[in-house]
Structure 1
Amino acid sequence: MALRLAAACALLATGAATAHDNDATASDPMAEVHVVAERGTFEAALRDFSGRALPRRDAEGRALVLATLREHQLEDLSRHVHEVERRCGGYFAFASRAEAEAFIASDAGVRGLRAPLPAYAVTHQDMVTPWLAQVSEPGIRATITHLSTAWPNRYYGSSHGHAAPLWIRDHWLSLAAGRGDVSAELFIDCSNCGGQPSVILTIQGTDLADEIVVLGGHLDSISNSGWGENMDAPGADDDASGIATLTEVLRIAMAEGYRPRRTVMFMGYAAEEVGLRGSRAIAQRFAGEGRNVVGVLQMDMTNYRSPGSTTDIRVMTDNSHPQLVQFLRDLFDAYLAPLGYTRGESSCGYACSDHASWTQAGFPAAMYDEGPFFPLLHTPHDTLEQVGGTAQHATIIARLGLAFMGELGQRARTRLRAPAVPPPSGQPPRMRQPSRPPRP
């Protein structure tokens, strides 16, 4: 499980040192990277690719390509996916060809789509419904603002990208205010994340602690302007908004003294923008350890409302377990539809976001989407101002995140702490001193 606070502080120093040690490699545009992508996407993006692209098919029968690229060529691949295919992600990246070959040969992704799951049901309205009214647009906005302005980028190969996870880890722990059942770690066991750590905060479950619920989003950013330290990549929507939404869900859980029966983990993934690297490393670790993950929710871009959109959010139907997708629909219909919101459905293509890493590792995962594609992501113009200057749209997925956490995590019989002082407008929340935990 996650490290306790003292151990996490020690790991902070280790993670920072590793980040600096790997910084030159991560920022080297000529460094080799082994990419698995859909054949059509790869050929359209890199028609003049002079290296060796090997045709492959995975266990689901998809026509893929395994290619060895240089780091700078990922920009062309990503630009095609975003500007032509109008979606995110598009490929997995590996440190070695052998690792990529093993990934393609594995049938874990098929198992992730067909895994038997617990019976999902909406049964905790009395707990979840009061949470929804506590969602704070100013609080979400404050976190987006900080993440998108405190550093010029959160690129995985820059010192800024190594500093941002430390702030997230510390901020998340501050919301727990010393709760004994809440811990955090910087996850650095990723060979091609350039030293950028992922962040994992764990709320220990009670009688179903071996069953794990994950809510995650990626913490890095990328842009078509500049490279490494000098990249201009505010990433307000992609994906400061997802991390801010997760933070708001965590804030309310801590304020309400929420104690889940299942273990609930909040994750900020490293290096998503360069091939889902951080989430894949975590998912593979969990698979290797035989962890029992019963549901994963991805929050990637939550705060853009397209002017032409006819729905408020969409449920992604691919790279996802069908039963969990239905559960996302059920949660929306139970909690958001009565508030007047509407939902649609969409697909996002191969390796579109971090939930695909969990699916490919054999775990049930799914994703809500903010709606039609934000046209300015991966540019210097992915700023809060460009999505209207507010975090109002993100409050929708924050409420859905609360419903997912509460219904899937369930609840123990007692709370651990008193509610938090409500956050002042636009400021991070202040927490009361924790009360003494009840005796078991």
Structure 2
Amino acid sequence: MAQTFYKHDKFLSSDKLEGRFPGTKGNNEAAAYIRKNFEKYGLKKFSNNYYQPFKLFVKPDINKMKSDSVSTQNVVGFLEGSDEKLKNEYIVIGAHYDHWGWGGKGSGSKKKEAFAIHNGADDNASGVAALLCILEELSKPENKPKRSVIFVSFSGEEEGLLGSKYFVNHLPVPKEAVKVMLNMDMVGRLNNEKQLYMGGAGTFPEGVELMKKLGENSGLNPVVHAGEVGGSDHVSFYKEKISVIGFHTGGHEQYHTPDDDIDLINFEGGALVSKYIYNALKTIADYNENLYFIKQDKEN
């Protein structure tokens, strides 16, 4: 799995894709790569399309954009569950694929003076690499989950969770059928302590206990928060009273700079993280108990 994780991350964070800024050729190429893998591993389409297009507004001075309104897309597909009753419930797993392109004054770059490609190997090519590794594993017939699982890769995260907000406001299934959302944002830099951080584990029944138990013999040291929902795409779901868990391996100096490159990715660690999240996804999708939303006082 480590080599697969590396392969996906390397493609998505290559200079060729120029930082995957929404509305650019590189962003569309990343979406096409994800779509190709969704198709390869047998995900079904909603409305006969893997793409969920939407528009977003871009501030001037970002990424050499010619227009303030650009078109981009979420990439969405689903695996139907095996249980006659539970397949009408959905678990969502997601990771955003966009990044800051060439950066610039109006962007979220930490080095606004450096007009250079922000490859975002950790943010968030790593999350998409994990998503595709998990998809490959879950798509094997012997691993079919009881509940249906929606895989989604969001665009427009960096501009304010725009892709996930759009998705939640235009769900392809009834909102009450969406039980838990798992999100991966920056999972490619596992540290020496092997810490995988997660927020929101208390938003569904027995979540904290489950995530700690899955840490046994995983090669990881899960740091589990019941609340601390955080600031990535899962927040869009939490605000709509959908249970969530957000996964990440921690911040670093290269965050939102042109230096977030593939040579700093811990892809062996990325494989461990992917396996852990796969096990979480499979266990939650196979839960015999009812899944319901539990609000957390400490959201951030």
Same fold (TM over 0.5): yes
- 1:217 counterpart residue number: 95
Q: 1:398 aligns with which of 274, 291, 300?
A: 274
1:322 maps to 202
Equivalent residue letter for 1:217: A
Aligned residue runs from structure 1 range 193-212, under 5 A: 194-206=70-82, 207=84, 208-212=86-90
Cα distance in 1 for residues equivalent to 2:195 and 2:202: 21
Provide TM-score, normalisation by structure 2: 0.77
Kept in 2: contact 1:190–1:281 (CA 8 A): no
Map residues 271-282 of structure 1 onto 2, 5 A cutoff: 271-282=156-167
Deviations 1:66-89 (A, max 9, x none): xxxxxxxxxxxxxxxxxxxxxxxx
In the alignment, the residues of structure 2 paired with residue 405 and residue 348 of structure 1 have an alpha-carbon distance, to the nearest angstrom, of 19
1:377 is matched with which residue? Answer: 255
Are the counterparts in 1 of residues 54 and 72 from structure 2 also a CA contact under 8 Å?
no
Q: Distance in 1 between matches of 2:241 and 2:33?
A: 31
Deviations 1:193-214 (A, max 9, x none): 8311111120012412221101
User: Given that residues 10 and 121 in structure 2 are in contact (C-alpha distance below 8 angstroms), is that contact kept between their aligned partners in structure 1?
Assistant: yes
TM-score in terms of structure 1 length: 0.54
Deviations 1:116-155 (A, max 9, x none): xxxxxxxxxxxxxxxxxxxx10010000001111411101
- Confirm or deny: 8 A CA contact 1:209 1:261 kept in the other structure: yes
SS of structure 1 residue aligned to 2:7: helix
Pairing 1:338–2:223 present: no
- Partners of 1:145 and 1:209 lie apart in 2 by 34
Give per-residue Cα distances to partners, 1:138-173, cap 9 Å, x unaligned: 010000001111411101132211221111111221
Whole-angstrom distance in 1 between the partners of 2:30 and 2:219: 36
**For the residues of structure 2 that align with 1:262 and 1:157, how far apart are their CA atoms?**
34
1:322: Cα distance to partner? 2.1
SS of 2:41 mapped into structure 1: helix
Residue 233 of structure 1 and its aligned partner are, at CA, apart by 1.6
- Share of identical aligned residues, percent? 20
Aligned length, in residue pairs:
265
Structure 1: segments with no counterpart, 5+ residues: 1-135, 412-440
C-alpha separation in 2, matches of 1:322 and 1:232: 38
The residue type paired with residue 142 of structure 1 is K
Unaligned stretches of 5+ in structure 2? Answer: 58-68, 108-114, 288-300
Aligned-residue offset at 1:256: 4.4
* Paired residues of 2:238 and 2:244 also in contact (CA < 8 A): yes
Q: Higher helix fraction: Structure 1 or Structure 2?
A: 1
Larger Rg: 1
> Would the alpha carbon gap of residues 332 and 365 (structure 1) be closer, same or farther in structure 2, given more than 3 Å must change?
closer
User: Where does residue 168 of structure 1 map in the other structure?
Assistant: 34
C-alpha distance in 1 between matches for 2:102 and 2:227: 21
